[in-house]
Chain A
């Protein structure tokens, strides 16, 4: 029996940690941000989401956002994130596929 010992090619990673935001008790009086990164179809999903949220939470308000930089996908800058965070209580996004 022969033994072949080799070195792992896999690199260690730099770990990051972010504490999740506290969730809202209910959405009845919330201002909800609807973030679209301009990938096709995301706006339609947010349109329907807004309709459904309005129907269930009549007191909720809505604000629409997209990122200030980008191309096929428009991204949120730190300044965009600061602004959104100052204007809404929660965000629904379409940024992935």
Chain B
């Protein structure tokens, strides 16, 4: 709508009451905070036509007014606070720190857990290892178009509990987030529980003590490095990208995966080339891959000893039509029109070392697993379309209109076999993990 206003066309847009702040912030980010809204009580989704019609009738004066009355500057726009330093008093430093945590929480700068105080000294220590100027701009992060300087990343890394060894990894993750193909705006602001899955490959992940083995995505001392790096990514999305719940993160239920979701690949236990080699990097390179995911499903199988049987079990996790990405290719591709990017819906499999050995023993590589899963994971057209807009299917694939006459035809749930990204992660026992993905992963090298 802002782009139409820029072209001289007056617009008005339906917006649910709960999304007014979000719409205002979004319009402000694009330069027009006062974009006229026709506010309706609830989202239009999942409403009966007669209820939608009633809402349109009640909003009619706003629609006419939005197109005919002058647009007034919106005074309630959000702006980042100007102060670069904050001071907190207390009877002792512990009390002052507690006061800082309460204030940061109130301002929306915290994920809810206690934060490490980003003092001058702590941030300087973080920066010493980076061999970068604090003012260097790494990227501009959406949805708020926040300027990601090295110093701001260091501050958020300190708050998350990171050490200096984590900062180069965080910088690489931020570069992933900022890639146009990541379409961060969509994933950060959505009503879906998009969580950035951070996968680290190479020697710098090992040097930073990232856990690739037992309970790599869980709590506890072995995964402390994973926890703080994943947390730093989330805090950076919030305080640098300006992704704030209820304002620019409209997640319906949320997900614990959004607090921190980070590990390394278990390269030593993998029978295959490391994941980042499949992404075009040299084996000795260090990389960070970020793939936004909606949720996780266990890939449990203690019984199978043949690849074909494992594939059948894995396919049951993949064929879950309640998960938004399943069969989504039928209605198009995730696309950011500003950059003319398109994403296929990928999903990430963490194959545990024991299952990986079953595949490798029979000579199966990643490509063969991808192909077999692509063939095994199918659902009838009518099932895939249960939660999809038929008109979107017509718009995306007019050549597939004939499917309406073959509702029971089994179709693949992803666009192509390469939509399954496979890494080896975890300890002993036949329990992997399947991540329902949102769009494509992005990989960046770790520098410095």
Which A residues lie at the B interface, using CB under 8 A? 1-27, 32-33, 38-45, 47-49, 52-53, 56, 66-67, 69-72, 74-78, 80-82, 84-85, 88-97
Q: Assess the B70–A23 pair: CB atoms within 8 A.
A: yes
Do residues A2 and B95 form an inter-chain contact, with CB atoms below 8 A? yes
Q: Do residues A71 and B29 form an inter-chain contact, with CB atoms below 8 A?
A: no
Convert B91-134 into 0s and 1s, putting 1 for each residue whose CB lies closer than 8 angstroms to a CB of A: 11101110110001000010000000111100100000000000
Complex formed: what's the CA distance from A9 to B118 in Å? 8
What residues on A are CB-neighbors of B97 within 8 Å?
A: 4
When the two chains form their complex, are residues A38 and B146 in contact, meaning their CB atoms are under 8 A apart? no
Complex CA–CA separation, A76 to B336 (angstroms)? 9
B1-55 with Cβ < 8 A to chain A: 1-16, 18-19, 22-23, 29-32, 34-35, 38, 40, 43-47, 49, 52-53, 55
Contact with B155, one of A8, A38, A45, A56 (Cβ below 8 angstroms): A8
The answer to whether B29 and A16 have CB atoms under 8 Å apart is yes
Across chains A and B, the number of contacting residue pairs, with CB separation under 8 Å, is 287
Check if B180 is an interface residue, CB within 8 A of chain A.
no
Q: Give B residues with C-beta under 8 Å from A.
A: 1-16, 18-19, 22-23, 29-32, 34-35, 38, 40, 43-47, 49, 52-53, 55-57, 60, 63-64, 67-71, 80-81, 83-93, 95-97, 99-100, 104, 109, 117-120, 123, 140-141, 144-149, 151-152, 155-156, 159, 191, 235, 239-242, 250, 324, 328, 331-338, 340, 342, 389, 391-392, 395-396
**A32 CA / B305 CA spacing, docked (Å):** 64
Shortest distance from the beta carbon of A58 to any chain B beta carbon, whole Å? 14
A4-B117 contact given A24-B68, A27-B67, CB 8 Å threshold: yes
Q: Which secondary structure characterizes the binding site on chain B? A: mixed
Q: CA of A78 to CA of B90 in the docked complex: distance in angstroms?
A: 54
Which residue of chain A has its CB nearest to the CB of B55?
A: A45
Instruction: Check B53–A48 contact: CB distance below 8 A.
Output: yes
Contacts of B81 in A (CB 8 A): 8, 10
Report yes or no: B30 in contact with A72, Cβ–Cβ below 8 A: no
Q: Would you give the shortest CB distance from B12 to chain A, in whole angstroms?
A: 6
The answer on a CB contact under 8 Å between B335 and A71 is yes
Instruction: Knowing A11-B152, A38-B395, A92-B63 are in contact, say whether A97-B250 is a contact too (CB < 8 A).
Output: yes
Alpha-carbon distance between A42 and B47 when the two chains are bound, in angstroms: 10
Of B3, B31, B44, B46, the residue contacting A45 (CB under 8 A) is: B44
Closest A residue by C-beta to B6: A18
Does the CB pair A18–B30 fall under 8 Å?
yes
Contact B71 A23 (CB under 8 A): yes
B88 to chain A, nearest CB (A): 5
- Please give the distance in Å from B180's CB to the nearest CB on chain A: 14
Residue of A nearest to B328 (CB): A71
Given the complex, which residues of A lie within 8 Å of B64, measured CB to CB?
Answer: 27, 53, 56
> By the criterion CB–CB under 8 Å, are A20 and B5 in contact?
yes
Closest B residue to A56 by beta carbon equals B64
Residue contact A7 to B155, C-beta cutoff 8 Å:
yes
A27 vs chain B, min Cβ distance (A): 6
B70 touches A11 (CB 8 A): no
In the complex the two chains form, is A40's CB within 8 Å of B152's CB? no
Residues of B within 8 A of A43 (CB): 391
Residues of B within 8 A of A25 (CB): 68
* Across-interface contacts of A97 in B (CB, < 8 A): 15-16, 18-19, 43-45, 191, 250
Alpha-carbon separation in the docked complex, A25 to B3 (Å):
21
A33 to B45, CA, bound (A): 21
29 contacts between A and B (CB under 8 A): A1-B89, A1-B91, A2-B95, A3-B87, A3-B88, A4-B117, A4-B119, A6-B117, A7-B155, A10-B80, A10-B240, A15-B31, A16-B29, A18-B5, A21-B4, A21-B10, A23-B10, A23-B67, A25-B68, A38-B391, A45-B52, A48-B53, A69-B337, A71-B334, A85-B7, A93-B1, A93-B12, A94-B13, A95-B13
Asked if B396 and A88 make an inter-chain contact with CB atoms under 8 angstroms apart, the answer reads no
Q: Are A17 and B331 in contact (CB under 8 A)?
A: no
Known: A45-B56, A66-B395, A90-B11. A12 touches B87 (CB 8 A): no
Q: Is the CB of A11 within 8 A of B141?
A: yes
CB atoms of A96 and B96 under 8 A apart: no
A71: which B residues are within 8 A, CB to CB?
328, 331-335, 392, 396
- Give the CA-CA distance A72 to B76 in the complex, in Å: 31
**A88: nearest chain-B partner, CB-CB:** B9
Known: A38-B391, A41-B46. A96 touches B87 (CB 8 A): no
Chain B residues with CB under 8 Å of A81's CB are 3-4, 7
Q: Which of B23, B52, B70, B84 contacts A48 (CB 8 A)?
A: B52
- Is the beta-carbon distance between A11 and B91 smaller than 8 angstroms? no
Residues of A within 8 A of B324 (CB): 72
> Are A22 and B8 touching (Cβ within 8 A)?
yes
Chain B residues with CB below 8 A from A1, complex form = 89-91
Q: List chain B residues, Cβ under 8 A from A49.
A: 56, 60, 63
Q: How far is the CB of B277 from chain A (nearest CB, A)?
A: 30
